[in-house]
Amino acid sequence: MKKLLLLLIVLTHINSQTINAQKNNGAATAIAVGGLLAIGSGISAVEAMKEQAELSATEWFLTNHPEFSQFSMKTLDFDGKKMSDLSRTSLLMFRVVDFVIDGPTKTLSDGNGFDYKNLKIKKKFVLFCFTSSGWVNQYGINKNKIKWKLVSVYDWMDMMVAYSKVASGFDGGERIRDLLKGGKIINRGIKNKSKGNLDFYKMGGDMYLVNDYSDDMKLIFNEHSLGIYLKETKDLVQISRGAIIKIHDFFMKKPKSL
């Protein structure tokens, strides 16, 4: 998605330059109109792809977790990997909220998100969608190119503790967990105004610190980023700091709307 946005910005700039240089030329006007149409088509295509991806996420959740009968599914980040990550794997993230209808009226949303007067939130999850090259084609989404992983708040905390251990060299799991609660994950480590900070290692971009986290993934510390290595597909994707903050805030805070 970031590449598409960059392409649109470049296209806009080129058309602007063309118009300035050839204000009285009808061809310049035609180019500008064509550029605007291309931008509009590109944005529409991205929005359509988002909706289709969100539908695929909902279908996967309904199929694999039939125990949930009342839930919300919404895109958290459509491109959660670092801009500099050149791997063939991309990362989409969806926020899933398990709720119970518990209110006097039929209004479940205030237009921007949950109506907390009528809903009780039980659990929150983030659904990771790892996509391989060719996951979108002229026929839509190729589900064979997608790997899903549902992460609960407990899973996320365990992952962040394991990641922080290897990133900092500090082995105090409970201390790290305490810092993560109410704290922020930044490039340099964990920042917690009331409980203190934890610094991560400073190192070059060609150095990797690895935690063999589970049967299906390894957690990688590299260039101040969280990398996830998928053992099954042998792919490494680096999650952007912005995406990590979104996930952490979603789990740790009660947002104004969901």
Question: In terms of domains, do 91 and 190 share one?
Answer: yes
With respect to residue 48, please indicate whether it lies within any of the assigned structural domains: yes
Q: List Cα–Cα distances, 79 to 4, 57, 106, 150, 178, in angstroms.
A: 11, 15, 35, 17, 29
With respect to residue 60, please indicate whether it lies within any of the assigned structural domains: no
Could you tell me the residue range of the domain that residue 22 belongs to?
1-52
pLDDT at 194: 92
Question: In terms of domains, do 31 and 99 share one?
Answer: no
Question: In terms of domains, do 89 and 32 share one?
Answer: no
Provide the whole-model pTM. Answer: 0.77
Distance CA 241, CA 248 (A): 11
With respect to residue 15, please indicate whether it lies within any of the assigned structural domains: yes
Question: In terms of domains, do 21 and 111 share one?
Answer: no
| Contact yes or no for 169/201 (Cβ under 8 A) | yes
**Which regions of the chain are under pLDDT 50?**
1-23, 28-29, 31-32, 35-39, 86
Number of domains in the chain: 2
Question: In terms of domains, do 47 and 74 share one?
Answer: no
pLDDT at 207: 92
DSSP 165-215: HHHH----HHHHHHHHTT-EEETTEEEETTTEEEEPPP--TT--EEE--SS
Question: In terms of domains, do 162 and 183 share one?
Answer: yes
pLDDT at 9: 40
With respect to residue 258, please indicate whether it lies within any of the assigned structural domains: no
Question: In terms of domains, do 111 and 14 share one?
Answer: no
Question: In terms of domains, do 1 and 104 share one?
Answer: no
Question: In terms of domains, do 184 and 108 share one?
Answer: yes
Question: In terms of domains, do 172 and 217 share one?
Answer: yes
Question: In terms of domains, do 7 and 106 share one?
Answer: no
With respect to residue 257, please indicate whether it lies within any of the assigned structural domains: no
pLDDT at 22: 47
With respect to residue 57, please indicate whether it lies within any of the assigned structural domains: no
Question: In terms of domains, do 32 and 89 share one?
Answer: no
Distance CA 25, CA 190 (A): 57
pLDDT at 17: 44
| Alpha-carbon dihedral angle through residues 224, 230, 234, 239, given to the nearest 10 degrees | -30
